[in-house]
Amino acid sequence: MKLAIIGVTGMVGQEMLRVLEEFKLPITELIPVASEKSVGKTIKFKGNDYKIVGLQTAVDEKPNIAIFSAGGATSLEWAPRFTQAGVTVIDNSSAWRMDKTKKLIVPEINAHILTKKDKIIANPNCSTIQMVMVLSPLHQLYKIKRVVVSTYQSISGTGVKAIKQLEQELKGEPADMVYPYPIHENCLPHCDTFLDNGYTKEEMKLTNETKKILDESINVTATAVRVPVSGGHSESVNIEFEKTPNVSKIREILHKTDGVILKDNPDTNTYPMPIYAKGKNEVFVGRIRKDESQQNSINLWIVADNIRKGAATNAVQIAQYVINNDLI
């Protein structure tokens, strides 16, 4: 079982190595891939040293699976080249997510739709993954009509340069600005670029990807905010159902949902926070309560490690499913 990681030196690529070790996938050979400036350097995996190679070398080695985390442009150019060599590609960028010929997968929800013919599999956006993990069982129970979500997204979603900006600001040093404004002691209602409709790309990803994964009939509107947190995305979610929801039943269902951890006890100040989610693979949910202003509606709060379940873990889980179900 040969597995390539494209973008292995990045934040998500490095996390993928850690998750792969934890999941104990039956990998006999790792092919680490990065940009030309990193070719020839070595990385460690399961106690062994592996030399970083370029993209064409990786294609020539014909891995069984290639996990991409190197940006949309790289995925668009190179994913087809890998598939032509018979490789199954799992892509973490936005390049293929809304392609009607590609499946958008959160393994706990819809991995069962994958077949051997699916050679490029799309990994959803980090903020989408954690939200649909909670929405999915509730949609099955009460049928969701509308979702209003506000996100509070970690700077790690922007990458290493954003973390460096915050660190420099905390030290009072001149910062290399990734964002148009300081992020220390600030919140930016600006994740990704603005579109003609006034929404950002991140906000529309929450809308479009949720529809593709769960149900085209679900209406989603989003506001995405960048906050000075180094790891973990949080979401305030208002959900309107067709049927009358029962909060106790919702807690019971979410408590039993694979990959979801219920933290919901106001009496003991128990609720999800990024500091609890950091380094964990699960999605945390709490603050579940009836919406007193609207019929058939509830509010809840969702938190997850955006580099883990929002990216690396979900991709590795797809690889695990593909391997276990002989879909290569």
Count: domains in the chain: 2
Determine if residue 233 is left, alpha or beta; phi over 0 gives left, psi from -120 to 50 gives alpha, anything else beta. Answer: beta
CATH of the domain at 31: 3.40.50.720
Catalytic option among 112, 126, 184, 190: 126
φ, ψ of residue 248 to 5 degrees: the values are -65, -40
pLDDT bucket at 115, cuts 50 / 70 / 90: very high
CA nearest 218: which of 202, 199, 237? 237
What is the per-residue pLDDT for 141?
A: 97
* Two tokens, residue 205: 């990803």
Phi (first) and psi of residue 8, to 5 degrees: -70, -20
Question: What is the chain's mean pLDDT, rounded?
Answer: 97
Residue 169 shares a structural domain with residue 40: no
pLDDT for 292 equals 97
Per-residue model confidence as pLDDT tens digits over 222-240: 999 999 999 999 999 999 9
Within this chain, do residues 206 and 316 fall inside the same structural domain, yes or no? no
126 catalytic, yes or no?
yes
The one catalytic residue in 190, 191, 233, 255 is: 233
My answer on whether 6 and 73 are in the same domain is yes
Q: Are residues 200 and 206 in contact, defined by beta-carbon separation less than 8 angstroms?
A: no
Residues 99 and 165 in one domain: no
Q: What does the pLDDT look like over 266-276, one tens digit per residue?
A: 999 999 999 99
Q: Give the residue numbers spanning the domain of 297.
A: 127-306
Residue 28: strand, helix, or coil: coil
Mean pLDDT in residue range 187-200: 98
User: Cα dihedral sign for 228, 229, 232, 234?
Assistant: negative
Measured at the CA of 207, the angle between CA 261 and CA 245, to 5 degrees, comes to 50
Query: Is residue 176 located within the same domain as residue 250?
Result: yes
CB 241 within 8 A of CB 143: yes
The answer to whether 233 is a known catalytic residue is yes
Token readout for 118 is 């699916």
Asked if residues 210 and 235 have their Cβ atoms less than 8 Å apart, the reply is: no
Confidence of residue 56 (pLDDT cuts 50, 70, 90): very high
Asked if 64 and 143 sit in the same domain, the reply is no
User: Based on the domain organization, do 217 and 133 belong to the same domain?
Assistant: yes
Predicted confidence (pLDDT) per residue in 76-113, tens digit: 999 999 999 999 999 999 999 999 999 999 999 999 99
Residues 234 and 157 in one domain: yes
> Both 289 and 300 in a single domain?
yes
Task: Kindly state whether residues 16 and 31 are assigned to the same domain.
Answer: yes
287 in the same domain as 171: yes
Do the Cβ atoms of 320 and 23 come closer than 8 Å?
A: yes
**How much is the pTM?**
0.97
133 and 272 fall within a common domain? yes
